[in-house]
Structure 1
Amino acid sequence: MKNLRVEAIVLAVGLAILGVFLYCGLRSFSRQDRIVSVRGLAEKEVKADHVIWPIVFKTSSNDMQDLYRQLNSSNQVIKNWLQANGIPANEISVGAPQISDLRANQYSDLSNRDRFSLSCVTTVSSSQVDKVRSLIPRIGELLAKGVAIAGDEYSNQVQYDFTKLNAIKPQMIAEATKKAREAAEKFAKDSDSKIGKIKSATQGLFEIDDRDQYTPYIKNVRVVTSLNFYIEN
């Protein structure tokens, strides 16, 4: 009889402990099942710190040697003009010339045209964004020097880039995370709850776009952070 009483006490204690664990486990499960998903957006305007400026010149002739002379002369004029205006030689590169034989095209009307056409691109790749921007409107000065500059070519547009993204990443991620937490806290307040720990977090890709079509040298950087918070009573 005594042994049965001891066993009963042990069983009762065991069941009580099990009940406590089950209760705590169910509370934990219930608490972890309540989450809120929020997003935080961070945006920042920055100025481009690098520019690529293609300068295209075109000419034509019936004589290949004449084309060659024009090519060398025009390339030198362009290079001299750039260097005279503060662009160093190591920021200037000259591409291979493109030559077309117009008579090879059976649909060409050669009655008033030279046989050969030539185009060549001189490219400025520089971190002197403001200086290059000041030179672009002055490109007509090359026309006065006898260089036939071609403009508005889709494949040779001025390109502005922002290369210092890594320097602003931490600040922007922190800002996006802060805004996400603020959104979660507002949700919790409206539902008479409070925010717990972060369950999971996902950082979106950084996007860099022109602010608008008129100021491509001003960039808009944005990133979205997604957070899942536990909700507590």
Structure 2
Amino acid sequence: MKNWRIEAIILAVGMIVLGIFVKSGITSFAERDRSVNVKGLAEEEVPADKVTWPLVYKSLGNDLNALYDEIKRSNQTIVQFLKEKGIAETEISVNAPEIIDLKAERYSNQENVPYRYNVTSVITVTSNKVDLIRDLVTEQGELLKRGIAVTGGDYRYNIQYEYTGLNTIKPKMIEEATKNAREAAEKFAKDSDSKLGKIRHAYQGQFSITDRDANTPYIKKVRVVTTIDYSLED
């Protein structure tokens, strides 16, 4: 009868060795898979460096030719006012007037309409002289003395402030966001009795530029969030 004792011993030893290798492989794989995902935020407040200011006024009348002459004079007056205050001609755009024939309106009460034509005229200033424009907005009442009432309240013609220097501050903000992400990762590694390893993946989020608040649209808040995966080591 064949003696199976030696074969059994060899098989047992082989199973033990195999188990060691399998355990070692699983442990190594698990260690390679250990990581932490963190986000880093960077924010900065910057002054707007571009402004678009629409000056809007209305004209009413029944004679289009007379209205045309009136609008032409008013446009010249506004342009002259702006130039006197330091705005260059290249920064001023005179838009075509928007004419509404009130008697042609489908739902208007024609019997109670004193004027047939309602004309909206817009002169737009686009400039990087943000502080100067802000001062002029408070002084636009001076145009009343020259016979022009600048109107407001139309959402289509709100003054707009922009920040165009993003490329200038982008590298610094990415560096700050990355630093903040690393600090968060180091804290996590310390709390989990691990060491922080190399960056496995990094994702730069989109930059956003918003008004700091509703009362100061000429001050912008720039924001970016980066997402980084770090490996963890024992």
TM-score, normalisation: structure 1: 0.88
**Contact (CA 8 Å) 1:59, 1:148: kept in 2 or not?**
no
Size of the aligned set, in residue pairs, is 216
Per the TM alignment, residue 35 of structure 1 is displaced from its structure 2 partner at its CA by 0.5
Secondary structure at 1:152's aligned position in 2?
coil
**Contact (CA 8 Å) 2:102, 2:113: kept in 1 or not?**
no
Root-mean-square deviation (CA, aligned residues, Å) is: 1.9
Partner of 1:124: 125
User: Over residues 71-114 of structure 1, what are the superposed CA-to-partner deviations in whole Å (9 max), with x where a residue is unaligned?
Assistant: 10010000000000000100000111111111102432343521
Secondary structure at 1:108's aligned position in 2?
coil
Per the TM alignment, residue 23 of structure 1 is displaced from its structure 2 partner at its CA by 8.3
- 1: distance between equivalents of 2:129 and 2:107? 45
Partner of 1:79: 79
Per the TM alignment, residue 26 of structure 1 is displaced from its structure 2 partner at its CA by 5.0
Partner of 2:187: 186
Per the TM alignment, residue 24 of structure 1 is displaced from its structure 2 partner at its CA by 7.6
- 2: distance between equivalents of 1:122 and 1:216? 21
Structure 2 counterparts to residues 58-207 of structure 1, below 5 A? 58-110=58-110, 111=112, 113-207=114-208
**Contact (CA 8 Å) 1:50, 1:129: kept in 2 or not?**
yes
- Between stretches 26-35 and 136-145, larger displacement belongs to 26-35
- 1: distance between equivalents of 2:160 and 2:52? 5
Residues 21 and 88 of structure 1, relative CA distance in 2, 3 Å threshold: farther
Secondary structure at 2:40's aligned position in 1?
strand
User: Over residues 41-97 of structure 1, what are the superposed CA-to-partner deviations in whole Å (9 max), with x where a residue is unaligned?
Assistant: 000000000000000111111111110011100100000000000001000001111
Runs of 4+ residues deviating >6 angstroms: 18-24
- 2: distance between equivalents of 1:23 and 1:38? 30
- 2: distance between equivalents of 1:101 and 1:112? 11
% identical aligned pairs: 53
TM-score, normalisation: structure 2: 0.87
Structure 2: gaps (5+ residues):
1-17
Counterpart code for 1:185: E
- Between stretches 141-150 and 23-32, larger displacement belongs to 23-32
Counterpart code for 1:146: G
Counterpart code for 2:137: I
Counterpart code for 2:194: S
Secondary structure at 2:171's aligned position in 1?
helix
Structure 1: gaps (5+ residues):
1-17
